[in-house]
Amino acid sequence: MNNNNKKFVIMNIKYLIIKTLPVFSLLLFLNSYGQNNTLILNGAYTIMNGGSAGTPVYLVVNQPDTAGIVRVSGHIATENQYHYVKWVTGTNTGNYVFPFGV
C-alpha cells in the first residue's frame, strides 16, 4: 500500500467515525448491552478494493444480532468478486440486511 492509499484509508476512517458517532452513541443508550461489533453506516460509503482469488478481502461483522449492520444512509460497495461480507450470526435468526450499493 503506497502513502497515498494510506492517507485515503486514514481519511475515510476519520470520516466514518465522525459520521457514525452520534448514531452509535444512540444505539448504546437504547440497548442494555454494548454494540462494540456493530457496523453503522450513516452517510458513509465503505468501499472494498483489492483482493484476488488467492487473497480475498473480507469485512467481518462479529455481531449475532440483526442490528450488527445498521444503515441510516450510505452503503457497502465492492469492486470485484473477491470481496466478501461475513456476518457471524451464530444460531440467531431474523432479517439480516446487507446494505450493498453503487
pLDDT of 37 reads 63
Give DSSP secondary structure letters for 50-76. Answer: ---SSS-EEEEE---SGGGEEEEEEEE
Nine-digit cell at 25?
452513541
Write out the residue range of the structural domain in which residue 23 sits. Answer: 3-87
Q: Is residue 93 in a domain?
A: no
Q: Is residue 57 in a domain?
A: yes
Q: Is residue 102 in a domain?
A: no
Q: Is the pTM of this model over 0.85?
A: no
86-94 long-range CB contacts below 8 Å, 24 or more apart? 86/58, 86/59, 86/60, 86/61, 87/60, 87/61, 87/63, 88/60, 88/61, 88/62, 88/63, 88/64, 89/64, 90/64, 91/64, 92/64, 92/65, 92/66, 94/66
Q: Is residue 94 in a domain?
A: no
Domain count, the chain: 1
pLDDT tens, 21-69?
444 444 444 444 444 567 777 777 788 888 889 999 888 888 888 888 8
Q: Is residue 51 in a domain?
A: yes
Q: Is residue 98 in a domain?
A: no
Q: Is residue 71 in a domain?
A: yes
Q: Is residue 92 in a domain?
A: no
